[in-house]
Chains A and B, each alone.
Chain A
Amino acid sequence: MLRQRAIDDEKLEQPFNMDQFRRLLAYLKPYKKSVIITVLLMFIAAFAGLSGPKLLQVAIDDYMEAGHLVALAIIGILYLVLNLINLLCTRYRVYTMSLVGQKVLYKIRQDMFDHIQKLSFNYYDSRPAGKILVRIINDVNSLGDLLTNGIINVLTDVATLIFVVFFMFSLDVKLALIVMTTMPLMAIVVLGLKNVMRRRWQKVRVKSSSMNAYLHETLAGMKVTQAYTREPETGEIYQELSGEIRSTWLDAVKMNILMGPSIEIIAAIASFLVYFFGIDIVGDVGVLVAFGAYIWRFWQPLSNLANFYNSVLTAMASTERIFELLDTPADIFDHTDAKELPQIQGEVVFENLSFYYEPEKPVLKDINIRVAPGETIALVGPTGAGKSTIVNLISRFYEPVEGRILVDGHDINTVTMDSLRKQMGVMMQDSFIFSGTIMDNIRYGRLNATDEEVMEAARIVHADGFIREMEKGYYTEVNERGSRLSQGQRQLISFARTLLADPRILILDEATSSIDTKTEILVQKGLEQLLKGRTSFVIAHRLSTIRNASRIMVIDDGRIIESGSHDELLELKGAYYKLYRAQYQFLQAV
């Protein structure tokens, strides 16, 4: 029975953290002037926008019945002018703040992307790609509204509240005081409801994210579900999740719906008070009308403030994840006095090399190897023996805990990673293909290579044939992960890519995957071409590669237990002999 698992364990909210908030605000620093001007303008705009009811009051009470048409015209023009000011301020604000907000988002996003380029494989090993992606894309997006509008809105809303109170008192102090009695009630209701709302919507988000995760997974695995006739069970789980969404949604939306009526009731009370007492206290129609208008203008900023608080909490969760990523130290970096590695011949020396994640579980123990330029070293041994670790250390994807690696006599810790890796070619089991044309994919090896050079490289590794058979040849678009290409074809493209880079040292993690015989022959031929004249380390599975290697090293439990040519090792009748014998028997026996 397939259970439903919460895939998304990211926290949706974080308590307010002043330090992080300050750090976030620091991104606004370069735009301090724009922000300050905007805030000032918004104060003016709020004042201008709120003057309407007051002007209406003056018009009604003082000039209308008296028939002062000139005065009315002046009031009208004044009102228009104020609104024009409002228009210009708002326009400036929307434009400036979105500019600032977008620039900040751009900067944060770029900072994150730049930073992850510096992180070593350790970082990528420990978390799925999706989680990193979410931080760069979604988390940054969720800060967008806060930075573009949120902060400015808060200040504007506070200003609006102050101005509303100011205008009320300027109309009539006593009446203002009477109306004020209902305002705390409004504040309590609005803030209280918002709080409940936030929690309930959070529940909706959690539920819908797990429904989406489930949906995504079962759609991706639909073929498996059908093959195992598990449709009724998965359907039931989905329906259950779907029902939960409906009920949590209704729970949450009820609170939203409640907001309007609650304010309506409080406003009705306030209006009642205004008219009931107002007639005796002031008696002027205009004042009463204006009061009515201001009552309505009180709750909107309150509600906005509550919203702001909610969005800050959500944003804090994103902020925390963003800064956590930015604060992840790059554990492998160029030392300050790192030199460029000059053009190398390809000699590699391992000196007393040890590597482990935890001292109790050593991965490599005291490895000593000297490899002459042009040698092909085949690394063999059981899974988990440490073969991959050895090759990863050469390119400095990880750093040895003890000992050092010398390339042409240079300790690789003392040279820049860029100059080191540019002279090495590394091919992994799973050949990664970028979305784009095949041409682009091969050219990744040397960005300034001409089309002819690309094709030449493909020809040499025997990739040319199948590429030309594709509908648009080298310009065929392949999608992410190269799903249109077979495993063997992806490998050939990756060979061509590496050949184009023309590295002195080659590292190859041979795929175990079985490729159909025709492609397999091509891959072997391509490999031969690639290995020619380069120092290479091959984690080998193919017997042909092993046998043709200049030296075979048998790794077991983090040590080199045997080393020598194929014939020498067979002679030895040790571990290699056993390994070889076993494979052979396997081919025979089954």
Chain B
Amino acid sequence: MDIIKRIFNYSKRHRGKALFAIFCLILNIGINLTTPRISKIIVDDVIKGGMRDLLLPLLLILFAAGLVKSIIIYLRGLYFEKFSQDTLYELRNDMYSHLQGLPYSYYDKNRVGELMSRMTGDLEGIRNFLAIGISTLLENGIYLIGTTATLLILNFKLGIATMAVTPFIAYLAYRFNKVVRPIFTDIREQHAVLNTAAQENITGVRVVKAFAREEYEIEKFERENYKNKQKNIVASRAWAKYFPLMDFLSSICLVVVIWYGGSLVARGQATVGDIVAFNAYLWMLIMPMRLLGWMINLTAQATTSGQRVFEVLDTGSSIKEKDNPYIPDQYRGEVVFSHVNFSYRKQAVLKDIDFVAPAGSTIAIMGETGSGKTSLINLIGRFYDTCSGQVMVDGINVRNWSLRDLRSQIGIIMQETFLFSDTIEGNIQFGNPDASKEEIIRAAQIADAHDFIMEMPQGYDTIIGERGMGLSGGQKQRIAIARAIVKNPKILIMDDCTSAVDMETEYEIQKALKTVMDNRTTFIIAHRVSSVKNADTILFLEEGRIVERGDHDSLMAQRGRYYEMVRQQYKDLDSPEFKGQVI
């Protein structure tokens, strides 16, 4: 109930529209409840009573009522829709801008599909409730009370008799809803399973074919496909069981009106007009009963949906700007880590990280998968917050910086390349909206991407799909590099960003990057010794700790882990031709 209240609270600003719609709704019901009585007068007084001159005025009243009703129905529907769309529009935008403010840790935890379903399916659940649910609930509630009262006033005995069956209809509707809900959940789940089965088969087609497992895959899919069929059949069986029965019970109401009503007419305890009016009222009585289950369901759905939507909106961002954030006049690019500890999901990831990266220097970070390299560089742009210790950029703790200013000075090339469905030019320009065409081309040249881009049918205007469909891993990485270069940041961070390009290309890229690395502080995460050899400082991480530091020569002299790794990587080159030249 709290959730429903909160949904209402959210729509407060558009309450005027809702109230107007409700006003129309009540008017509409009022007309509906009156017109059968006019029909009764026509039957009893005009036809049976012979007061013919009343006919035309009465018919005109009926016609006018119909006309007014039409307008009211239209306004009612329109304003409920406007009310719900306005509320939804705000809710949707609020959710989106809230999501934009949530930190990396949130996106680590929540899958995109899950967030999508909250922003589409759950919002739809709320929309249904606002646009249809409220009006149906009110309408049927009022009808139920209004019709019951009218029928009892019109003819008490007949009223009681007619209504005798209706609770059973309500019960059936309620039962149906209860029975069918788990079935629908079941169907949805099975549908997801089926979806996954097909998807894995398609994305894994190379493995399937390589192992000649087509038959096995067909059997696997057939099993899920069959289950999907069966579950759908179960649902329609429930439908077949309840709905025709409800129709049948409704028809009993009419039988009561005909037979019992008829006997009352015969005894003079009712008029034919009563019968006509009852006939007209019947649907207003039966409808609310039939819709009972549906309305319960709609409300329940809105509650669950609301819960999931508000869960997103209530997630506070752990990374907040100070009230008066630091906005510098000039950026230098110096980065200092001072006794930084960082834990993630209760696991210590970085321990006592302490180093100084002077402006313009190059820092290489090495270490095994999971040793904390990516976490370390993510602290610089304050994508996560430290647990203790300080990360300082240009001598100011990143917590005191304006986030936007801080990040505008950092260019990150991430390990996992993400490109948008846009032209190549648009993707590179994402790094700097003000970049000119020349700057974009220059950046692409540095990233060794210009040539392959020019080979594409539409060059820089080629649209690349979601996640850069149609490009090889190496090509995607090179576009991502160009995107970072065009930003022209003071601090450049490269997180293993040339893993998918071959050695020769990597060599080209690095040669070119050298020219742009001047006056920038550069962080390089890499596994190949060749990529890190020329760094001013190499930090060797192991289980979150810096275990070795220094430049290439001093680390080689230490004969520690770095030395071992270099030997391991270079042993292949240990051919008689070049012996002794290496290292």
CB-CB under 8 A for A87 and B244, given A64-B266, A275-B42, A570-B575: yes
Contact with B along A533-565 (1 / 0, CB 8 A): 000000001111001000000000000000000
State the Cβ distance, A244 to closest chain B Cβ, in Å.
10
A and B contact pairs by CB, cutoff 8 A, 25 listed: A7-B465, A95-B236, A98-B236, A113-B221, A137-B191, A219-B115, A224-B414, A225-B100, A229-B403, A230-B433, A231-B101, A235-B100, A279-B55, A383-B505, A421-B211, A427-B210, A432-B204, A445-B211, A480-B203, A513-B500, A520-B527, A521-B568, A544-B571, A570-B575, A582-B504
CB neighbours of B252 from chain A (8 A): 80
The answer to whether A2 and B420 have CB atoms under 8 Å apart is yes
State the Cβ distance, B474 to closest chain A Cβ, in Å.
8
Cβ-defined partner of B196 (8 Å) among A52, A129, A435: A435
State the Cβ distance, B367 to closest chain A Cβ, in Å.
8
Identify which of residues 499-530 in chain B touch chain A, using a CB-to-CB cut-off of 8 Å: 499-507, 510-511, 526-530
Is A265 part of the binding interface, using a Cβ–Cβ cutoff of 8 Å?
A: yes
Identify which of residues 109-131 in chain A touch chain B, using a CB-to-CB cut-off of 8 Å: 109-110, 113-114, 116-118, 121, 124, 128-129
The answer to whether A289 and B276 have CB atoms under 8 Å apart is yes
Q: Which residue from chain B places its CB closest to the CB of A396 in the assembled complex? A: B209
CB neighbours of A68 from chain B (8 A): 266
State the Cβ distance, B107 to closest chain A Cβ, in Å.
6
Identify which of residues 19-78 in chain B touch chain A, using a CB-to-CB cut-off of 8 Å: 39, 42-43, 46-48, 52, 55-56, 59, 62-63, 65-67, 69-71, 73-74, 77-78
CB neighbours of B162 from chain A (8 A): none
- A215–B511 Cα gap in the complex (Å)? 38
User: Which of A63, A133, A422 has the most chain B CB atoms inside 10 A of its CB?
Assistant: A133
The answer to whether A260 and B573 have CB atoms under 8 Å apart is no
Top 10 closest pairs, chain A to chain B, by CB? A268-B66, A67-B266, A98-B236, A543-B572, A257-B77, A261-B70, A426-B210, A514-B527, A421-B212, A94-B240
- A586–B503 Cα gap in the complex (Å)? 8
CB neighbours of B466 from chain A (8 A): 7, 213, 216-217, 220
User: Which of A231, A245, A269 has the most chain B CB atoms inside 10 A of its CB?
Assistant: A231
Q: Which residue from chain A places its CB closest to the CB of B405 in the assembled complex? A: A229
The answer to whether B209 and A83 have CB atoms under 8 Å apart is no
CB neighbours of A59 from chain B (8 A): 258, 262
The answer to whether A113 and B116 have CB atoms under 8 Å apart is no
CB neighbours of B433 from chain A (8 A): 1, 230, 233
Cβ-defined partner of A222 (8 Å) among B59, B107, B200, B214: B107
Is B185 part of the binding interface, using a Cβ–Cβ cutoff of 8 Å?
A: no
| Interface stretch (choices B141-149, B285-293, B423-431) | B423-431
CB neighbours of B46 from chain A (8 A): 279
State the Cβ distance, B335 to closest chain A Cβ, in Å.
16
State the Cβ distance, B566 to closest chain A Cβ, in Å.
10
State the Cβ distance, B103 to closest chain A Cβ, in Å.
8
The answer to whether B211 and A584 have CB atoms under 8 Å apart is no
Is B344 part of the binding interface, using a Cβ–Cβ cutoff of 8 Å?
A: no
- A90–B577 Cα gap in the complex (Å)? 88
- A119–B113 Cα gap in the complex (Å)? 29
Contact with B along A82-96 (1 / 0, CB 8 A): 011011101100110
Cβ-defined partner of B62 (8 Å) among A261, A268, A293: A268
- A66–B267 Cα gap in the complex (Å)? 10
Is B385 part of the binding interface, using a Cβ–Cβ cutoff of 8 Å?
A: no
- A444–B220 Cα gap in the complex (Å)? 13
CB-CB under 8 A for A238 and B244, given A261-B74, A586-B503: no
Is A389 part of the binding interface, using a Cβ–Cβ cutoff of 8 Å?
A: no
- A582–B502 Cα gap in the complex (Å)? 12
The answer to whether B582 and A588 have CB atoms under 8 Å apart is yes
| Interface stretch (choices A27-35, A70-78, A193-201, A407-415) | A70-78
CB-CB under 8 A for A444 and B207, given A271-B62, A516-B527: yes
- A292–B40 Cα gap in the complex (Å)? 13
Q: Which residue from chain A places its CB closest to the CB of B102 in the assembled complex? A: A222
The answer to whether B276 and A60 have CB atoms under 8 Å apart is yes
Cβ-defined partner of B275 (8 Å) among A60, A77, A116: A60
Contact with A along B247-265 (1 / 0, CB 8 A): 1100110110011011101
User: Which of A216, A224, A254, A547 has the most chain B CB atoms inside 10 A of its CB?
Assistant: A224
DSSP majority for the A interface? Answer: helix
- A242–B423 Cα gap in the complex (Å)? 23
Number of A residues whose C-beta is below 8 Å from B? 160
Is A368 part of the binding interface, using a Cβ–Cβ cutoff of 8 Å?
A: no
| Interface stretch (choices B90-98, B300-308, B436-444) | B90-98
Cβ-defined partner of A102 (8 Å) among B233, B262, B403: B233
CB-CB under 8 A for A217 and B81, given A121-B205, A239-B93, A262-B70: no
Identify which of residues 164-223 in chain A touch chain B, using a CB-to-CB cut-off of 8 Å: 212-213, 215-223
Inter-chain pairs besides A235-B96, A276-B55, 19 sampled, C-beta below 8 Å: A59-B262, A64-B261, A79-B255, A83-B251, A91-B241, A102-B229, A124-B205, A148-B236, A216-B466, A217-B421, A226-B100, A235-B97, A260-B73, A264-B66, A288-B47, A292-B39, A480-B203, A520-B568, A543-B573
Is B153 part of the binding interface, using a Cβ–Cβ cutoff of 8 Å?
A: no
CB neighbours of A514 from chain B (8 A): 496, 499, 526-528
CB-CB under 8 A for A2 and B422, given A102-B232, A222-B99, A229-B407: yes
- A264–B85 Cα gap in the complex (Å)? 26
- A113–B208 Cα gap in the complex (Å)? 13
- A91–B82 Cα gap in the complex (Å)? 39
Contact with B along A226-250 (1 / 0, CB 8 A): 1111110111001100110110011
Q: Which residue from chain B places its CB closest to the CB of A73 in the assembled complex? A: B259
The answer to whether A424 and B210 have CB atoms under 8 Å apart is yes
CB neighbours of B527 from chain A (8 A): 514-517, 520
- A257–B115 Cα gap in the complex (Å)? 32
The answer to whether B47 and A243 have CB atoms under 8 Å apart is no
Contact with A along B329-371 (1 / 0, CB 8 A): 0000000000000000000000000000000000000011100
Is A527 part of the binding interface, using a Cβ–Cβ cutoff of 8 Å?
A: no
The answer to whether A133 and B240 have CB atoms under 8 Å apart is no
Is A99 part of the binding interface, using a Cβ–Cβ cutoff of 8 Å?
A: yes
CB neighbours of A249 from chain B (8 A): 81, 85
